Amino acid sequence: MTMQANPTKGEIIDLEKSYWDAMKSKDGGRTAELSAKTSLVTGAKGVMSIPKSKMSKMTEEGNWTLESYEFDDVEVTTPLPDLAIIAYTVKQRVKMDGKATTLYVADSSTWVRGSEGWECHAHSETLIADKHSRRALNALAEL
């Protein structure tokens, strides 16, 4: 059995951006391809266990669009050659029910490399304040 090298930070960032790009283009086939057989997702709606088929449908349907996104504060760890965890903040411009809004969130994803390539097994998203407010909160936390 040949051991694969740990992925680079850039490779994992590219994987994560590929997922975001698929959401932006509402490409359910691609989000399903990048998702595990069942993915765990946490966020504003609580905890969900989402099968590939539902991930595809969720991406393609719904009255929302991802207009743009920008990653910041990206951290990646690869504890094993076939396991990578990425965490970052992201500014996302979205339209929900026709109403444009900008969200600032902290996200993390757990990627596992298997026989089908890299798949996201878990994703978590937490709403945060804008960058200016976040810096103020961080300064207060250091007091």
Backbone angles phi, psi at 77, to 5 degrees: -130, 145
Give mean pLDDT, residues 49-66: 91
Cα angle 123-128-143, degrees, rounded to a multiple of 5: 120
Q: Which residues contact 43 (CB under 8 A, 6 or more apart)?
A: 124, 125, 126
Give mean pLDDT, residues 16-44: 96
Closest CA to 64 of 32, 97, 92, 93: 97
Q: Quickly state the pLDDT bin for 135 (edges 50, 70, 90).
A: low
Q: How do residues 82-110 score in pLDDT, each as one tens digit?
A: 999 999 999 999 998 889 999 999 999 99
Contact 119, 142 (CB under 8 A): no
Closest CA to 84 of 67, 108, 106, 53: 108
pLDDT at 138 (0 to 100) = 56
pTM of the model: 0.86
pLDDT at 5 (0 to 100) = 86
